[in-house]
Chains A and B, each alone.
Chain A
Amino acid sequence: MMPSLLILIPLFVIMAINLPKHTGRRLAFYLALALFATQMILAVFHQKLFLTNEAVGIDRFFRVDLSIDHLGVVALVCMGIVSISSLFVSRYMPLDESERFKFTNLLVIMSIGMCGIVMAKDIFSLYVFLEITAIASFILIAFKKDIGGLEGAFKYLVLSAIATVFMLLSIAAILLVSKDTSFAAITEALKVSGSQPVVIAAIAIFLCGLFIKGGIFPFHGWLPDAYESSPAPVSILLAGIVTKVAGVYTIMRITMLFGSSASINNVLLLLGTLSILVGAFAALGQDNFKRMLAYSSISQVGYIILGIGAGTPLGMAAAIFHFFNHAMFKSLLFVNAAALEKETGTVSMSKMGGLAERMPVTGTTSVIGILSAAGIPPLAGFWSKLLIIVALWQAGRYSYAAIAIFAGVVTLGYLLTMQRKVFFGKLSAGLDDVKEAGFGIVLPSVILASIVVLTGLLFPFIFQSFIIPVKELLQH
């Protein structure tokens, strides 16, 4: 099997739904659904299908250099689940059929970009796929063409352009020492000339570009605006996977590629910790549901960065685990945000209240989501945070471990505040005819919540089949 299939199939899907005029439009939803399901199945059974070093079929002919490893599998599974959730939610948004069709197209294009990021084995392809993802997301953020959406998209566009310049500059600098842009060649070249100032500068610049993409402090300014102003299905995508794959996953790849050095780790740890704290404290003061979740994302990404910054195989494994968990619980919370926005017509938390009575399912899944986000056992988020903290402690980064652990109280604080304002308490005036949002929103919410609970309860299985392979992969 060829990894490039994961890019070729979506390309065909796009063609297939656009060529016949009317049937394509009607089928677009189901085709996209089938596509993401296939993507997940391929990812889960990758071991049998893809884990060969030999390129076969078209890949050999065109010399496409793509591969999937254990790290990539986790990202692919996340992408599948979150894309499906977003697709379901998009059916319930006030969009007409042609807009919905556009959305599906952009979603598939975005998924091509992200699959490419996950599988790329040379730094220039990585850059190209990052741009594909970014372009699709600019349009998606501004999808409603309202002032807020355009502003959010514009901010992202400008900062993304800066990130582009950074990355290209860095690639050029790396080409000074390396014979081509493939990861293998760069690793070889760095063994010889890894300590040259130009190489160190190149790495630093590239990472800065990725920090912008991932919305990490101090480059996080665009993120709350983008999440807040984009339509609900898009904010699910952005928060769940796009910024994570484009920013965080790539940081993992790059640090693995460049090898972990103490100085890079110090920077990662510092920025990760600051992200955690800034995100958490900023989230405390928000009244807009989606904006609060956006700041919470910044904070949670900080944990992933801390895991990477621990510089140990366990840290990296924990980081990818938290990547997965964050994708699940944050998408869950954004799906719930979509349900609330649809039913109450507002995203202001102070206008909501007592909704648990009217939306019992959403209220319950929300509790699961916030407890997982705050790292309360036995839910999934606890295990990944625990592993990150164990990794930090074993790496001798005691104070970072302590800050990371106690930031959990702040996280719990703002999430409990949200739960209290929105779901508990007395039903606010004017919300009497609120009911549970439609099947298409409740279903993803319930599925994501079950994934969160099951991942937490079945952690030995998760450890055995994902964490330990990743750890061993990195030890070699």
Chain B
Amino acid sequence: MTNKILLLSCVFIPLAGAIIAPLAGYISTKFRNALALAAISASFIAAASLIPVVLAGNTITVSANLPLGFNFILTADCLAVFMATVSSFICAIIVLYSFGYISHYRNQNEYYLMVVLFLGSMMGLVFSANLIFLYIFWEITAIASWRLIGFFREKRDILRADKAFLVTVFGALAMLLAFVLIYQKVGSFDLAAIKLYFKTTPVPDIAVILILLGILTKSATLPFHTWLPDAGVAPSPVTALLHAAVLVKIGVYVFARLFIVTFTPSEIWHTIIPALAAASALVSAGAALVETDLKRIIAYSTVSQIGFIFLGFAVNNTIGIAGAMLFILMHGLAKGGLFLCAGIVEQNTKTKDITRMGGLISTMPITALSFLACSFSIMGIPPFGGFFSKYMVFSGAVGGGNIYITLAFLSGAVLTILYLFRLFNMVFLGESRGNLAKEGSATMIVSVAVLATMSLAGGIYIIYPSSFVAVAVKQMVGM
């Protein structure tokens, strides 16, 4: 019973908090900020306290039967709890950071409404065991990110926000069509019923294509990746939240949930998807290498790293899947950290152009060190967390047997190292080509330092996440 309450509070505390927080903003901004952080932390604590339960091999289900097969079901299994814990933790750090970053802009009530709503619907999405509710939460995250990207009211910002919204809605509608197709075959939107049905029948390829359209648009993978770098006009905590840590992971999460846990697409997809991911990883790594806009480089890097996660999930062997899950964690921490560092740099130097920066390590040492630590993790340098996840994805890919795709990803990994070092050099080392700005505010520095430390700790204490992931993978592939 307590577990069910925990599960419900994971989803509904932030959803309720999203309504209350902006109202509280009319009373006091401090109270509102505290409330927003409390809602998200409560969700994190609830999700984290479910870990021992799911580790013991239990799954928790809360369900309400609704007409026409639109049952409301929340299920907490290892994969869902893992995702929920990671995203709520990163979200909590980002909100903490926002206290400093966002404090001198307008429309703060709307900001906190959307951030908390975003996390609530993210939680709903990961725990949903019904396609229609998964879709609903999916679209609520799209609404939230639309408003968050358009936080600044310049015409360019709004246009980019509209672009992101339209692209992801297009993909979502394609996915909805696939859900309707599955509904007609199975007669229900319940994942359990769908899993049972597709045990004996193969999944129609058209459904796989349509669902992939949804996933690729949400996770900003080639050829639908362009909205993500463009969305860099948003405030930095938003880009960290949406484009690095949480939003883009929705796509890969649904990939794992549907294509690994629920049904297996036909053999050919295990070649097509890694190939797509490889192209995405290479193209965007190349773009990151030549860009000069600080946030666009990191955004392209996200597109590139998402390719690795897809690779891990798509090769369909246990080590690949485990690697991909760890990758979600490590990339979330490190990329969140990078974006937040970029936020500090951008806010204090008043520019996003890296050719006009340099030498910033002397004035903002903590930011620089955090940036470096997060970069090491993304590059996959031991003992940072990113090394283990990248290594496992590669070993999964080698086990999958396609040597060309593995080679493509290897060169992608090399490019990652190149563009991140270039970025670090241009921004923090060498002679100053602009103004030497001061360090960010205390909450902001603490946030980036925590994420950087976590990236390192994630590698040193890799045993904890990896043992959890090992249980999760067993549960996912049904051993």
CB distance from B224 to the nearest CB of A (A): 13
Chain A residues with CB below 8 A from B183, complex form: 390, 393
Is A408 an interface residue when CB atoms closer than 8 A count as contact? Answer: yes
Contact with B along A406-432 (1 / 0, CB 8 A): 101100110011001000111000000
CA distance A133 to B127 in the complex (A): 51
Is A378 an interface residue when CB atoms closer than 8 A count as contact? Answer: yes
CB distance from A385 to the nearest CB of B (A): 9
Is B184 an interface residue when CB atoms closer than 8 A count as contact? Answer: yes
Chain B residues with CB below 8 A from A402, complex form: 177
Determine whether the beta carbon of B180 is less than 8 Å from that of A460. no
Q: Dominant SS at the B interface? A: helix
Chain A residues with CB below 8 A from B165, complex form: 412, 416
Number of interface residues of B (CB under 8 A): 30
Contact with A along B158-169 (1 / 0, CB 8 A): 110010011001
Determine whether the beta carbon of B153 is less than 8 Å from that of A389. no
Cβ < 8 Å to B, chain A residues 48-93 = none
Chain B residues with CB below 8 A from A311, complex form: none
Residue of A nearest to B121 (CB): A378
Residue of A nearest to B156 (CB): A425
Determine whether the beta carbon of A408 is less than 8 Å from that of B153. no
CA distance A377 to B155 in the complex (A): 26
Chain B residues with CB below 8 A from A405, complex form: 173-174, 176-177
Determine whether the beta carbon of A401 is less than 8 Å from that of B173. no
Contact with B along A345-365 (1 / 0, CB 8 A): 000000000101000000000
Cβ < 8 Å to A, chain B residues 139-159 = 139-140, 142-143, 150, 153-155, 158-159
Contact with B along A376-399 (1 / 0, CB 8 A): 111000100010011001100000
Is A130 an interface residue when CB atoms closer than 8 A count as contact? Answer: no
CA distance A384 to B83 in the complex (A): 32
Chain A residues with CB below 8 A from B139, complex form: 376-378, 382
Is B269 an interface residue when CB atoms closer than 8 A count as contact? Answer: no
CB distance from B343 to the nearest CB of A (A): 23
Determine whether the beta carbon of B67 is less than 8 Å from that of A376. no
Determine whether the beta carbon of A408 is less than 8 Å from that of B66. no
CA distance A468 to B69 in the complex (A): 13
Determine whether the beta carbon of B159 is less than 8 Å from that of A420. yes
Determine whether the beta carbon of A416 is less than 8 Å from that of B142. no
Is B135 an interface residue when CB atoms closer than 8 A count as contact? Answer: yes
Cβ contact of B140, chosen from A378, A394, A417, cutoff 8 A: A378
CA distance A412 to B180 in the complex (A): 21
CB distance from B336 to the nearest CB of A (A): 27
Is B468 an interface residue when CB atoms closer than 8 A count as contact? Answer: no
Residue of A nearest to B71 (CB): A460
Interface size, A (range): 20 to 34
CB distance from B167 to the nearest CB of A (A): 9
CB distance from A353 to the nearest CB of B (A): 9
CA distance A371 to B143 in the complex (A): 9
Chain B residues with CB below 8 A from A424, complex form: 150, 153, 158
Determine whether the beta carbon of A390 is less than 8 Å from that of B67. no
Contact with A along B42-69 (1 / 0, CB 8 A): 0000000000000000000000001110
Is A464 an interface residue when CB atoms closer than 8 A count as contact? Answer: yes
Contact with A along B338-371 (1 / 0, CB 8 A): 0000000000000000000000000000000000
CB distance from A375 to the nearest CB of B (A): 8
CA distance A376 to B159 in the complex (A): 19
Cβ contact of B67, chosen from A377, A386, A463, cutoff 8 A: A463
Determine whether the beta carbon of A416 is less than 8 Å from that of B140. no
Determine whether the beta carbon of B177 is less than 8 Å from that of A376. no
Question: Closest 8 CB pairs between A and B?
Answer: A377-B136, A460-B66, A463-B67, A416-B162, A424-B158, A377-B139, A420-B158, A409-B170
Extra contacts, 6 of them, besides A390-B180, A390-B183, A408-B169 (Cβ < 8 A), are: A376-B169, A377-B140, A378-B136, A393-B180, A406-B174, A424-B158
Q: List 30 A-B contacts (CB under 8 A).
A: A356-B153, A376-B139, A376-B143, A376-B169, A378-B139, A378-B140, A386-B176, A386-B180, A389-B176, A389-B177, A390-B180, A393-B183, A401-B177, A401-B180, A406-B173, A409-B166, A416-B162, A416-B166, A417-B162, A420-B155, A425-B154, A426-B153, A426-B154, A460-B66, A463-B66, A463-B70, A464-B67, A467-B67, A467-B68, A468-B67
